[in-house]
Every structure is written in C-alpha cells, then in structure tokens.
Amino acid sequence: MKSDKKIVLSESEIPRQWYNIQADMPCKLEPPLHPTTKRPVTPEDLSPIFPLELIKQEASVERWIDIPQEIIDKYRIWRPTPVIRAYELEKALDTPAKIYYKYEGASPAGSHKANTSVPQAYYNKTAGIKRLATETGAGQWGSALSLACSFYDMECTVYMVKISYNQKPYRRSFMQIYGAEVIASPSDRTQAGRDMLALDPDSLGSLGLAISEAVEDASSRPDTNYALGSVLNHVILHQTVIGLETQKQLEKVGEYPDVVVGCCGGGSNFAGLAFPFLKDKFTGTNIRAVAVEPTACPTLTRGVFAYDYGDLGKLTPITKMYTLGHNFMPPGIHAGGLRYHGESPLVSQLYHNGFIEAQAYHQTEVFEAAVLFAKSEGIIPAPESSHAIKGAIVEALKAKEEGRSKTILFCLSGHGHFDMTAYDNYISGKMEVPGDEQPLQANMISLPEI
Ligand SMILES: *Cc1c(COP(=O)(O)O)cnc(C)c1O
C-alpha cells in the first residue's frame, strides 16, 4: 500500500515557538534607514505605527521566540495544516519524484496570511491600539487582517489596490463581513492618494502606493497602528509555523526534502516554509530552496540588491533588498500578491549569499500548471501559489529527465476561490500576456541616494 496521502498532526503539536533565522544566518542584515534622515531606524521611529513587541521581534536575534497561548488558541482554528502527497500530480507528470505540499489554504482567510495577522492584531490589542490600517493587493492580506481584527474586537481599514477592488468584488464583501472598512486605492483619504489621482485619475494603483496610504492613515491617528502582511522580519518570523510543522510531518513518514519551493511576493510564505530547513542547510545539510516569481514582476531574478523605499510615497524605512525600484508599476497580472517591487530583506540577503535560488515564469504557463494541479489533486490554487506549483513541476520533470527520484516540497499558500475572473480569462483564451518583455535595465530602476 502507498504511504499516507495526508500527513496530519494533532493540535498539541502546533509549534510553541517561532524560529528566528536572524540568530543563525551567516551574513547579518544591514540596518534599515530612516526615510528622511537616512540614519539607522530606532525603535522610537517605529513606535508611532507598530507596537513594542513587534518592534522587538523585528530586531531580535534570539533563535526561538515563544508564541503566546492566546495566539495558539486562535491558530487551533486551522492549524496544524496538512501536508499532502501529490500522488495524482506525480502520476500525471510520470515522474519518479515524490511531491509533497503544505496546504495553507485551510485557514478561514484562505491563505497563510492569517498566521501573522492574528499575532499582529494580538500584540496591537495588548498595547491598547483600537484600530489597524493596512493595504491589500489581491485581497488576501486584507481578508486575513479583517478576520484577526474581528477576533480581537478591533477596527480595521483596508486600502485595496484599485485593480483588485474592481476585479474581486467578493474579496471586498469577505472583509466587510468581518466588519472592515474597504477603500479603493488611490483614494482621496490621504495625501499620497490625492497626489496620485492628480497625476493620473485612472490609476489602477499599486501595492507600493496603497502602503503609503495606510502608513499615512496610521501615523495621523494615535489610536491607529499599521500592519504589513509580508516583507518584514516579524511577519516572516510568524510564518515559520509553516516550516516547523512540515518538518514534524515529514519526519513522521521518514522523509526529508531535496528541494523546497515557494512562490515569492514579499517572501513570507516561501520563507515561512523554507527558513526552518535553511537552519539545517547552515550546518551542512544538502537542501535547495527555490523562490518562484512572475516574469512580470521579477524582483529577485532581475532586480538589484540595494537600499530602497518600501512604498511609492517614501514614508517607510529604506531597507537593503532586491528591488525593481519603488516607483515600479507592474502590469496587471492576476497574481496580485506577487506584484510588489521589493522583497523581504531576509530573503534578499540569503539569496544574495547563495542560500536561495530564484526562478521566474510567465502567467500563462503558471495557469497551465494550476489547471493541471486542480484536475489531478482537486484543489483550485491561488494564482500566486500556482507559481510554486509550476516550480515544483519543473523540478519533477527534471528528475524524470535525469531518471532519478527526489523529494520535492512546496507551499500551497492559498486556494483560488476568489480568482474565478482570472481562471475565466485563462479558460476562454482571453488571458492577456502582460508587457513583461521590455528589457528591464538596472539603470532604469530608481533608488534613493544614501
Ligand atoms: C500574499 C500571498 C502571497 C505572496 O506573499 P508572500 O509574502 O510572498 O507569501 C502568496 N500566496 C498567497 C495565497 C498570498 O495570499
């Protein structure tokens, strides 16, 4: 008989601590800089928009950080998530490789983002904050934060990138069910939004601009903080529950991956799965970690490693990361969660030092992979997650070519139930090929002077 299809853990096996890779990475991060003074950011600089506990986590070099029981109690609603052996996909590919995936679409918000929205809301609540402002691209982060705010009885305002606001009306309803206020960005609520509307009244927005709006909102009100769904060190810390659980699950069936694959927007689901395994790599274990991005927003594969702003309005700290420039406006591809100009500083540094590989794929080949996965494994994946599926398929076909087995693990970061417009376009042959063929030259990337 085949070994298990679905590898599950009991609630008591939910990790009690997050793993902080800053304790173990061989090259330390360069300090984030203040956007106007350009001097290293201090905790006081961040306190108008973040609670102290998260500021401490951002800079911590402690290896293990305790997860408060109140957070674990919320995690229990959907964690531990299953690890699933993709037997049917293996068969469809006729590959000798074993393919496993960690399914994060099992959360009420439909993606891995609830792993950090819950702790972020919790730490803000305990710091006396009443309201959170944030941005959302595809809608998953806004959904996850709306859910977490309703858990902790907080208000939530979400600046939603206009293209998604128009394409995904049900995402908006989803957030409103939890009581959130959802505003299309650019909006006239902030200076950053008004500036963009004056420049281009038809602007479809970008994540970088929506971040500016949310940060401006949060800094202008004492009862309000800001929450970011990816990129930052504390976000990635919270996401390590993904990899820590997976390690226990694979251990149960006597497996260890040769390669770990994740899609990469700001880097949080990829890092959440991969970082606990990189801990082993630092001490000599042979494992590859592959980050997959769209060719339309090729931050790692074609960006530069430099200090840049996290947002269009230059309100966020300047961090050393792979970037396409803070004013890069990606084409309107359907993987909205992967349309960010920057990348997590942690993922960037580790990529720069050769611990991580990166690949980029076109939208149409990614949807082809998504449909093959849906037909074989049954789950309709989010367009973002489908980049990881594509990456895993490429690895599996390589194994077939080489005629040897290998164990592939990828993160299925979310389901695609709110992405039917995208699937509809694909099925009816109307999917636009985004203008990602123009040469993207390093000297066209606009960066701050340091
Ligand atoms: C937001 C999102 C992503 C991209 O964000 P990361 O921080 O890179 O993980 C990927 N998949 C899904 C389902 C998302 O919601």
Alpha-carbon radius of gyration of the chain:
20
Asked whether residue 240 is domain-assigned, the answer is: yes
For residue 441, give Cα distances in angstroms to 61, 266, 282, 304. 36, 21, 33, 10
The confidence score (pLDDT) of residue 336 equals 80
Q: How far is the CA of 270 from the centre of ligand 1 (A)?
A: 8
- Predicted confidence (pLDDT) at residue 228 exceeds the cutoff of 60: yes
Query: In this predicted model, what pLDDT tens digit does every residue of 20-66 receive, in sequence order?
Result: 999 999 999 999 999 999 999 999 999 999 999 999 999 999 999 99
Asked whether residue 367 is domain-assigned, the answer is: yes
- Helices 363-377 and 383-402 pack at an angle, to 10 degrees, of 80
Both structure tokens of 394: 């490429």
Q: How far is the CA of 385 from the centre of ligand 1 (A)?
A: 7
CATH number at residue 329: 3.40.50.1100
Asked whether residue 45 is domain-assigned, the answer is: no
The confidence score (pLDDT) of residue 441 equals 62
The confidence score (pLDDT) of residue 63 equals 98
Helices (H), 253-324: 268-282, 299-302
Sign of the torsion angle spanned by Cα atoms 123, 128, 131, 135: negative
Domain hosting 424: range is 6-13+69-110+234-441
Please answer whether residues 363 and 334 qualify as being in contact, where contact means their C-beta atoms are separated by less than 8 angstroms.
Answer: yes
Asked whether residue 257 is domain-assigned, the answer is: yes
Query: In this predicted model, what pLDDT tens digit does every residue of 291-323 receive, in sequence order?
Result: 999 999 999 999 999 999 998 889 899 999 999
Amino acid at site 310: G
Asked whether residue 167 is domain-assigned, the answer is: no
Query: How many distinct structural domains can be found in the chain?
Result: 1
The H or E element spanning position 59 is helix 52-59
Q: Indicate the DSSP class of residue 41.
A: P
- Helices 268-282 and 345-352 pack at an angle, to 10 degrees, of 40
Q: How far is the CA of 61 from the centre of ligand 1 (A)?
A: 25
Q: What is the DSSP string of 50-93?
A: S-HHHHHHHH---SEEEPPHHHHHHHTTTPSPPEEE-HHHHHHH
Please answer whether residues 350 and 291 qualify as being in contact, where contact means their C-beta atoms are separated by less than 8 angstroms.
Answer: no
Asked whether residue 415 is domain-assigned, the answer is: yes
Asked whether residue 50 is domain-assigned, the answer is: no
Both structure tokens of 101: 């995936």
Residue nearest atom 7 in ligand 1 by C-alpha distance: 268
Confidence band (pLDDT; 50, 70, 90) for 444?
confident
Q: Is the peptide bond before 186 cis (omega within 30 degrees of 0)?
A: yes
**Residues at CB less than 6 angstroms from ligand 1:** 111, 113, 140-141, 230, 263-270, 337-338, 382, 384-385, 413-414
Q: What's the mean per-residue pLDDT of the chain?
A: 95
Asked whether residue 386 is domain-assigned, the answer is: yes
